[in-house]
Amino acid sequence: MDSDNNNNAPKDLNFAEGSEGMSTAVDYARPETRRKPVYDMNEDIVISGIAGRFPESDNMDEYAKNLFDNIDMVTEDDRRWPIDLNSGIVGRSGKLKEIDKFDSVFFSTFGLLADAMDPQARILLETTYEAICDAGINPQTLRGSRTGVYVGINTNDFDDCRRKEAALWVYGTSKALYANRISFMFDLHGPSTLIDTACSSSMVALQNAVAEMRTGNCEMAIVGTGNLVQAPFSNHVYTSIGLLASDGKCKVWDKRADGFVRSETVGCLLLQRRSQAKRVYATVVHAKTNTDGFKSIGLFSPFWLRQRDLMIETYEEADVDPQEIKFFESHGTGTNVGDPQEAKAIADAYCKDRKEPLLLGAVKSNLGHSEGSSGLNSIGKVIVMFENKTIPANLHFQEAKPEIEVVVNKTLQPVLKNTAFDGGIVGVNSFGVGGVNAHALLKSWDKELDPDAHKIIDPIPRLVNVCGRTQEAVNHIFDFIEQNPEKVNREFLALIGEPMKSQAPKGSAGFPYRGYMIVKEDTLEDGTKQLKYNRTINNAASSVLTETKSPYPSVTCPYRAGNYV
């Protein structure tokens, strides 16, 4: 589609002017020319922000709780289509709690276009904003920066686009625009790329982002992904070719394994160089991709030899001893072809001369297979693991499939209960149906050893400033602080304040409700200490927006992702 031919686009597609949301930020003052920063290309690249929606999980904290509570996040209900349409297919799937709410005013997407936009695209905008805030950055300060956007998406089930207006269908559902829309909305000037390599899409997007940062082509990078199961048609197709499990459970490595169950995920990562990051969830030691090429078993079958080669090349290029890897998060779909091939590759690459079993994770057993976005589930799980120093258990494993000898003899050992993890480097694997493989090594960050960890923190009493679209949003953050004192540490309080330090003159208008809370420590009569709170909330724009209500009230300030145990 050529942009020169878009003069006749419906007026409703145009960027709204004068709204009290993101659109006003186009007037945010920034230099006419921005000098390209000079970076050390050997500097560590880290994940500094993350936000996501997962099955039965609105955020990383809920995702962590469900993982550590060993909850099966796959359900059967009528949230996507009537149950009577499940005839001939398994009705279970992993579903986000809500996909029909979108603050179109804030994101300056009005009229018919907001209705016609694929919900994946809407939620990508929300989670991008949240991931940036989670890194302690005011999104307005990124305008004009060479921030790259890399979005990995494979499927698009959205078919309720009012096709009577052809332009709406094109602009609302074109996968090519998923990344471009983020770049446009946040005024980001780096690469903007949509990647579709089937089930490895999000991991390939991560690899692309890391590679571009290492060449200096972008200052930082947003890695986004999405998958929503919005219509039953694909389920019927997948069932007819034997891909879906008969009981709707991913029984990875198990002798009962007979396929996967479909699932949903939408989310984003923010990547920065270590010296620029205010928070570090994990260091991306290395990420690499390859392709199977020709193989006698056919295009659509995974090939252990090419996966093994990729794993070896990844740790050799990163100068990592494979014996250092104590945990490996597999692609693990629960299929009769994929599991044996991947297990053989992992064992051959990582387990030669290994004295102890390599612990094996498979998050699809917990929430299903979200296809192109499944890599984010794995990375999110690893971040949760790093933050809590605990590996969540896999589900639905009883007895190893006899054909997978390396699991039978415990060379590879699936994690069957929540297990302590003392940090280090882990492997994350992904592969797509067309033969595109992706592999990454992620390293935990020991905050206790971080020499800068305490430099930006004032001792309590602490003044916490927040702003939100609604009074409910501000109270949501304050409630979180009061109800989770174990999570309200120095890093959390500092990062909440960071985005408030650099408000754009007009860009802050999208958050008319402001509040502050004083957090202080009191000593009780028995000598124990407790935190006390005092909150105040005002509407900074009450004369204009008294009636404003957001259908999505929680886009405000950063959380500490997944800190649960």
Residues annotated as part of the active site = 199, 331, 369
CA distance 285 to 217: 19
Among 432, 425, 412, residue whose Cα is nearest residue 361 = 412
Structure tokens at 287: 């990420």
Among 262, 214, 261, 280, residue whose Cα is nearest residue 48 = 280
3-class SS string, 291-325: ECCCCCCCCCCCCHHHHHHHHHHHHHHCCCCHHHC
Coil, strand or helix: which one is 451?
coil
CA distance 368 to 373: 11
Question: What is the separation, in whole angstroms, between the first and last Cα of the chain?
Answer: 49
Coil, strand or helix: which one is 413?
strand
CA distance 306 to 18: 53
**What does each C-alpha distance from 425 to 318, 320, 359, 431 come to in angstroms?**
11, 9, 12, 20
Q: What is the DSSP string of 75-129?
A: E-SSSSS-GGGGTTS---EE--S--S---TTTTT--HHHHHHS-HHHHHHHHHHH
Q: Say how many C-beta atoms besides its own lie within 10 A of residue 423's C-beta.
A: 13
The C-alpha angle 516, 519, 525, rounded to 5 degrees, equals 145
Among 488, 506, 495, residue whose Cα is nearest residue 466 = 495
The C-alpha angle 466, 472, 475, rounded to 5 degrees, equals 50
β-sheet bridge partners, residue 72: none
CA distance 429 to 375: 8
How many helices (DSSP H) and strands (DSSP E) are in the chain?
15, 18
**What is residue 82's DSSP assignment?**
-
